[in-house]
Amino acid sequence: MTSDINTERKSIALVVGTIFIVGLAIFFVFRYGERWLRNLLIYLSQSSQARSVISGMPYMQGVARRFVAGETMDEAMAATRALNSNGMFVTLDYLGERVTDKKLALSSCREIVNLIDRIEAAGVEANVSVKLSQLGLGIHRDIALENLLQIVSRAKDNNNRIRIDMEESKLVDTTLDIYRTVRDEYGYNNVGVVIQSYLYRSEKDVAKLIEEGAWVRLCKGAYAEPPEIAYPIKKDTDANFVKLTQMLLSETARKNGVYLGVATHDEAMITATQEIARREQIDSQDYEFQMLYGIRSELQESLISQGYQLRVYVP
């Protein structure tokens, strides 16, 4: 009897805790943006108990489905088709990071390769983003590189692209090094990278990427970083975001083949990008806005209606 009561209490605590965490994260998503959504999604991807609780509660399923397409490739394809039908491009993100087991890193690689094949078979407009820590970077650089090469090679066979996500600041140099290794040493031109405007170093990184004619996703940044490394105040991050956008949309960048994805839900940043494009006489089809699945859907639809390109990141 006591055992049953304790089990029931633990179950209730798990349910309440999960509801609280999900609800709190959703509040912070709307107030503070991508960092909190990332934390929520990673929590759900790593916690089988939380997923079980959510799967058994219709209301919680609805909450989770607002931000995550599902757990199967069929669900991912269905979500992608729906977004495509509304004129939106898609980037699919197979959740997971900080893998420390080689077998799990290889399993993630295989799932992503299968996802690339499903995109091709379904005929949908989508590419895939990957995190190097999910592919084994925390174990050894060569493991992540080997897995990434398999992914990029399959994407090239399917005439598709792969975006390497940027993670915390301590991984920036290694991420950029692996990106350049895949592109320059192995000759894959179907790979892009992400730059975060809250890092002081990003202006220098962007200047180099412009020289190289890179395919760049610019975002504000979603990891907690110390003030010695990143701007601690939002207005400074915003100012740098606008500066980097201007650099990446410059005549030199465009001549070198740079293609920019402006990843933000901040209307001030969107307006600033539109003003830069008008001033430089850049066609709306020569760059794209990018937003997260389930966030600011009305704004997404508004941009499409105005003739802008929009890509939705779908976990």
Q: 27-56, pLDDT tens digit by residue?
A: 545 444 555 555 555 555 444 444 454 455
**Choosing from 165, 205, 296, 311, which is the catalytic residue?**
165
Measured distance CA(75)–CA(78) in Å, rounded: 5
Which has the minimum average pLDDT: 17-26, 67-76, 231-240? 17-26
Active site residue 238: no
pTM of the model: 0.83
Q: Cα-flanking dihedrals φ and ψ of residue 313, to 5°?
A: -85, 120
One DSSP character per residue, the chain reads -HHHHHHHHHHHHHHHHHHHHHHHHHHHHHHH-HHHHHHHHHHHHH-HHHHHHHHT-HHHHHHHHHH---SSHHHHHHHHHHHHHTT-EEEEE--------HHHHHHHHHHHHHHHHHHHHHT--EEEEE-TTTTTTTT-HHHHHHHHHHHHHHHHHTT--EEE---SGGGHHHHHHHHHIIIIIS---SEEEEEETTBTTHHHHHHHHHHHT-EEEEE---S---TTTB-SSHHHHHHHHHHHHHHHTSHHHHHTT-EEEEE---HHHHHHHHHHHHHTT--GGGSEEEEETTSSHHHHHHHHHTT--EEEEE-
Active site residue 217: yes
* Among candidate residues 36, 67, 27, the one with its CA nearest the CA of residue 312: 67
- 60 C-beta neighbours (distance < 10 Å), count: 18
**Choosing from 161, 183, 217, 254, which is the catalytic residue?**
217
Q: Which residue has the tokens 């001549």?
A: 255
CB 135 within 8 A of CB 113: no
Percent of the chain with pLDDT over 70: 79
* Among candidate residues 191, 196, 190, 168, the one with its CA nearest the CA of residue 178: 191
- Take residue 99 and report the two structure tokens written for it: 């893998």
**Predicted confidence (pLDDT) at residue 110 exceeds the cutoff of 70:** yes
CB 303 within 8 A of CB 289: yes
Q: Is residue 61 very low, low, confident or very high in pLDDT (cuts 50, 70, 90)?
A: low
CA separation (Å) from 2 to 6, 8, 13, 110, 180? 6, 10, 16, 45, 60
Measured distance CA(154)–CA(186) in Å, rounded: 14
* Residue of higher predicted confidence among 67 and 113: 113
Q: Which residue has the tokens 């909190």?
A: 36
**Predicted confidence (pLDDT) at residue 209 exceeds the cutoff of 70:** yes
- Take residue 266 and report the two structure tokens written for it: 């901040």
pLDDT recorded at residue 300 = 97
pLDDT recorded at residue 65 = 60
pLDDT recorded at residue 212 = 98
